[in-house]
Amino acid sequence: MKKLIDFMKNNKKILISFTFIACIFFGFNMHSSNDPKNDKALISLLRMALTQGHYEPHAIDDEFSEGVFTRFIEQIDPTKRYFLKSDFKEFTAFKHLIDDQIKNEDLSFFYLVHDRFNLRLKEAEASYKEILERPFNFNKKETLSVDYENMSYAKSKSKLILRWKKQLKHSTINRLHEKLTSQNDKKEKDSTFKASSFKVLEKEARASTEEFMSDFYDRMNELEQADWFTIYVNSITEEFDPHTAYFDPKYKKRFDQSMSGKLEGIGARLQRSKNYTKVASLISGGPAWKGGELEAGDLIIKVAQGDGEAVDIVGMRLDKAIDYIKGKKGTTVKLTLKKIDGSIKTISIVRDIIEIEETFVRSSVIKKDGHTYGLINLPKFYIDFSKRNARNSTSDMIQEIERLKEQNVEGLVIDLRNNGGGSLKTAIEISGLFIKKGPMVQVKYRGKNATVRKDTDKRIQWGGPLVLMVNELSASASEIFAAAMQDYKRAVIIGPKHTYGKGTVQSVYDLNKYHNLGVDLGALKMTIQKFYRINGGSTQLEGVTSDVIVPTRYSYMTIGEKDLDNPLSFDKIPAVEYKTWNNYSNFNEVIASSIQRIGHNEQFKLIDKNAQWLKEAQEDNTVYLNYKDYKKDIQFIEDRSLKFKKLADYKSDFTYQSPLYEIELVKQDSLLLKKREIWHKNLQKDVYITEALFVLSELKIKPNYVAIKQ
């Protein structure tokens, strides 16, 4: 075990992206072995690694036991549709024993819960067909609560069947409404169309629900004990913090690909949320990002291939859901979404390979009233650890800045929105492109004094006005960069009240180096460091507070590190010595001017109202099972949504075009031309970019300032 701990201390491959890779990309998986000896060895290996190597190790005690107990049961039965109150009561005998079981390689709690779940699963499977044999009464005044967190377990099997009946009725009313809506649309287009009766459509809707349930149980029955054991293992790792996770080596390979810019699919990071597949974020440049209809927070409830029949993926395991969503380049996938405002919408996305180029730095030249500005989009802090001379975000940033300087741009906007992090090394290097030299971030191992990471190069790549744009999904390396620029007063930070708030560092360890069992035990991604601003404050939980706070659609929602279970706490350490840049003549005045301008901007006022309504919609946990009430509720949501439709009508009077070097490239590449046209069109409709450019145009450099140029 000492070999493992020493390896952890010396490993230089540090990763600070905020995504929980095992969950967001591929769901949980496990080594193929079902041998209890190997499972026990894995538990023992993880316990030693986590208690000795984790940044903030949790004592394996009764409190820890209770956390694992709660998390595992919630992940097995998140909507409380299977376990009875008596089951839960029986499980509670283990609430404060799991810590002892972990130490003794005892898996009896896992076996009890797993076996009981399989029993309840079979009982539910036996009852759903009987429930769906008879028509539902959609005239009955009835509702269903989806506040599962505060819901108690059913006291008896008969009570559980009533709960299932409501769930099946809910599923059926959704399908019934779709059929009635589709039928009405056809009647409007074709007066000769022969409509079916409500009774017939209700029967068809029940049949569709039964088909979905049959598919659901087929998928559940395909799962092996190893799949459930992985959930148990991650219930243990997540008790340390939400970014510490166990995952299969094949996912490690895909993680390395994502770090080096090699991604494919629709371009969305997905995660499990209760019974749903949730959009965590979009990949800049990907098909979903280009389409502009899919957004973070959307729940994917159905997937159809082209014009084929939609498959209901509610309750589906994440990796299985992803199998339906991904596909060959050029094919179309239709996603039925539950939007964050509660509305239901179906969109089409043409699948594509997300080229490496689309995840790299790119720039645009912006003109207005005889002035020229530069915009650089930095989607991630990328580096390819496996190739010495591979592209990285630092060298690409240097090149892009030089190209924009050749076009005499007067100021620079760097867009970090949706940038989830990446390489710590490149974050420090890029920060150094904008100041003479000095500390950039403090990195701390547990029990040790913080190490100050500095930029030692006196050369400055860009010495002009600088604005950084962030949002709630700007995380990790983005926060290091933004925090450094803010502490030095080098740039004006524009964005929400807080960025994502991830101030921890993870590293991935191949567990197979530390056993000789002859079976693949996978890998561990573990939090080993915490980083702090040069002013001493952590970015953990708090993120970076923008200089200019703008309303966003997530303004009233909990989004980011604070929304996760068991995040590490915010704290402070001593500040390091540094000198602010101090070469703006009107820094504070420009910020005050922007805040005042935003307060009077009608577009921002409407965004704020929309955000308030989205918060209300998110907190509504009642589903109507009476069809008239159900339809009325849907109409209410649609009517409210219409009030905010004009948000999409915004268009600025700035003009956007490719830099000179790219103009020749787009002439020869029609696909690249189309991509840039879409990007520039989106930029023109982006009110946040407009405000960033107003700020940039007002920032003035002191006349006696001379940058030490590259």
Task: Tell me the C-alpha distance between 673 and 667, whole Å.
Answer: 7
**From the candidates 17, 476, 478, 658, which is the catalytic residue?**
476
Task: Tell me the C-alpha distance between 434 and 416, whole Å.
Answer: 16
Task: Tell me the C-alpha distance between 150 and 74, whole Å.
Answer: 12
Q: Name which of 287, 357, 365, 361 is nearest 663 in CA terms.
A: 365
**593 Cβ partners below 8 Å, 6+ apart?**
698
Task: Tell me the C-alpha distance between 314 and 341, whole Å.
Answer: 18
Task: Tell me the C-alpha distance between 354 and 267, whole Å.
Answer: 7
Q: State the Rg of the chain over Cα.
A: 27
Beta-carbon-side half-sphere exposure of residue 74 (alpha carbons within 13 Å): 17
Q: What is the DSSP letter of 453?
A: E
Q: Are strands 523-532 and 548-549 parallel, antiparallel or unpaired?
A: unpaired
**From the candidates 487, 538, 675, 686, which is the catalytic residue?**
487
Task: Tell me the C-alpha distance between 539 and 274, whole Å.
Answer: 28
**From the candidates 502, 525, 530, 675, which is the catalytic residue?**
502
Q: Name which of 573, 537, 577, 583 is nearest 439 in CA terms.
A: 577
> 3-class SS at 357?
helix
β-pair partners for 407: none
Task: Tell me the C-alpha distance between 502 and 243, whole Å.
Answer: 10
Q: Name which of 420, 449, 450, 455 is nearest 543 in CA terms.
A: 420
Task: Tell me the C-alpha distance between 293 and 375, whole Å.
Answer: 24
Q: Where are the alpha helices (DSSP H) in 190-224?
A: 198-222
Q: Which helix (H) or strand (E) holds 270?
A: strand 268-273
Q: Is 156 in the active site?
A: no
> 3-class SS at 350?
strand
Q: What is the DSSP letter of 585?
A: S
CB 303 within 8 A of CB 324: yes
CB 572 within 8 A of CB 536: yes
Tokens of 2: 């000492």
Q: Is 502 in the active site?
A: yes
CB 475 within 8 A of CB 540: no
CB 441 within 8 A of CB 529: no
Q: Is 196 in the active site?
A: no
Residue 57 CA: distances (Å) to CA of 61, 203, 603: 12, 55, 47
Task: Tell me the C-alpha distance between 418 and 412, whole Å.
Answer: 19
DSSP 22-80: HHHTT-----S---HHHHHHHHHHHHHHHHHHSSSPPPSSHHHHHHHHHHHHHHHSTTS
Tokens of 40: 């026990």
Residue 69 CA: distances (Å) to CA of 7, 64, 76: 31, 9, 11
> 3-class SS at 426?
helix
By annotation, the residues acting in catalysis are: 476, 487, 502
